[in-house]
């Protein structure tokens, strides 16, 4: 959940939307909730996120990251990767980046928030877009 600014190429340009929980509204697939799995090797994370909606839209997002420990219960998680979105209209590929502050109330659970950036390139002639989320909020369980 969070607040997104989406800048689409062409007339009509930018739009700001707010999301609560799983509601992605009418925005691009990167505004919708995804399920992700990350495996940690020391502090390096390697993972993938993805999701499917009832609108025949799907997204897959491989990513890598690094978790910096600030205190025993607070961390800073930098993640970046790529994504592919398949929609009934245009299909997109792009890059994503996140700078998340994570609070660990328990060693296997975190609540994280921070800015996100998605830059998507469409199959021609559809418009490309850039999405900035601030703040984005999520939860992670570590097993």
119 pLDDT more than 60: yes
Tell me: the pLDDT tens digits for 12-48?
A: 566 665 555 455 555 666 777 778 888 889 999 999 9
CA 58 to chain centre: 14
Q: 54 φ, ψ to 5°?
A: -75, -10
pLDDT band at 103 (very low <50, low <70, confident <90, very high): very high
Judging by beta carbons within 10 Å of its beta carbon (0-12, 13-18, 19+), is residue 116 exposed, middle or buried?
Answer: buried
User: Residue 88: what pLDDT?
Assistant: 83
59-63, 67-71, 104-108, 125-129: which has the minimum mean pLDDT? 125-129
pTM over 0.75: yes
99 pLDDT more than 60: yes
Q: 71 φ, ψ to 5°?
A: -135, 175
Tell me: the pLDDT tens digits for 66-79?
A: 999 999 999 999 99
Distant-in-sequence, close-in-space partners of 104: CB < 8 Å, separation ≥ 6: 72, 73, 74, 75, 110
Distant-in-sequence, close-in-space partners of 36: CB < 8 Å, separation ≥ 6: 47, 48, 49, 50, 61, 63
User: Residue 7: what pLDDT?
Assistant: 76
Domains of the chain, start order: 2-141 (2.40.160)
């Amino acid at each position: 959940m969070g607040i997104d600014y989406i800048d689409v190429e062409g007339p009509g340009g930018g739009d700001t939307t707010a999301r609560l929980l799983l509601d992605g509204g009418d925005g691009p697939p990167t505004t919708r909730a995804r399920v992700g799995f990350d495996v940690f090797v020391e502090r390096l994370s390697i993972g993938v996120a993805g999701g499917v909606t009832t609108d025949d839209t799907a997204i897959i997002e491989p990513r890598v990251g690094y978790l910096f420990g600030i205190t025993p219960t607070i961390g800073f998680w930098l993640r970046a990767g790529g994504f592919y979105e398949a929609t009934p209209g245009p299909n997109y590929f792009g890059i994503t980046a996140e700078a998340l502050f994570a609070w660990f109330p328990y060693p296997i659970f975190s609540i994280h928030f921070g800015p996100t950036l998605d830059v998507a390139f469409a199959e021609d002639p559809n418009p490309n877009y850039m999405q900035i989320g601030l703040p984005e909020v999520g939860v992670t369980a570590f097993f």
